[in-house]
Structure 1
Amino acid sequence: MGSSYIPGIDNPHDVGLPPSRVPHVIQRAFMALLVAAFLVVIGFALTEHWRRATFLLGCALIWLSVIRVTCDSRTLGVFAVRSRKFDTPFTLLMGGSMAFLAMSVDPLGS
């Protein structure tokens, strides 16, 4: 086990899955991009750019569905809520819906 191993945080829904073929460093980089997107979303929301925040949050959820398929549950931590079979389509659907709604809303200042 690596130095980042914490007993008891394995996702019970993913016990039988084989380990990811993506190197652990790349998995961490994927997670860093997700966290960075969430921080930018918070920045947009705090500066009242709601449409941008919603669109980027939708894109971040789509990205989460991609890394949910490619990364280990231990690397994802709290982002691996249920099984991959549930999390992937759920985050893809929610992210796609949010991004679509953000793009389809007419901007106020035209």
Structure 2
Amino acid sequence: MPSLDNPHDAGVPPSPLPMWAQRALLGVFLAGFFLSGVYAATEHWRRATFTLGAALLWLAGLRWACDSQVIGLFAVRSRRFDAAFCTVIGLGMMVLAWSVDSLGS
């Protein structure tokens, strides 16, 4: 059976957070992700974009605080790359959603 460890995180110390706390923090991210999907499905595009951007910023923090085994598929590269990527994309989405005119909605 192949190892599920992220090879980019070799030598990174384990998270000081207990496993239940790491999973709870991941649950907050997943709730934000699904909430953005609900907003998109109900045609609230600015809210959906802003919420997804905020969820990505949360994920950037999770990438630093949690173990790769807990993060799972969201641990793609090294912690530094993943956190930087999520921060840039999340901030970009939030700024874009904030800067678009609401057109009276």
Band the TM-score falls in, shorter-chain normalisation: over 0.9
What is the root-mean-square deviation in Å for CA atoms of aligned residues? 1.2
Aligned to 2:84: 89
Correspondent of 1:16 among 11, 31, 36: 11
Aligned to 1:47: 42
Aligned to 2:59: 64
Where 1:18 maps in the other structure, the secondary structure is coil
Instruction: State the one-letter code of the partner of 2:86.
Output: T
Deviation at 1:85? 1.3
The 4+ residue runs of structure 1 with deviation greater than 2 A are none
Instruction: State the one-letter code of the partner of 2:6.
Output: N
Correspondent of 1:76 among 71, 81, 84: 71
Q: How many residues align?
A: 105
1:26 and 2:21 matched = yes
Aligned-residue identity in percent = 53
For residues 13 and 91 of structure 1, the distance between their equivalents in structure 2, rounded to whole angstroms, comes to 17
CA offsets 1:58-94 (integer angstroms, 9 cap, x no match)? 0000000001000000000001010001001110011
For residues 70 and 28 of structure 2, the distance between their equivalents in structure 1, rounded to whole angstroms, comes to 13
With the length of structure 1 as denominator, give the TM-score of the two structures.
0.91
Deviation at 1:7? 5.1
For residues 22 and 7 of structure 1, the distance between their equivalents in structure 2, rounded to whole angstroms, comes to 26
Deviation at 1:15? 1.6
**Structure 2 runs not aligned, ≥5 long:** none
With the length of structure 2 as denominator, give the TM-score of the two structures.
0.95
**Structure 1 runs not aligned, ≥5 long:** 1-5
Aligned to 1:3: none
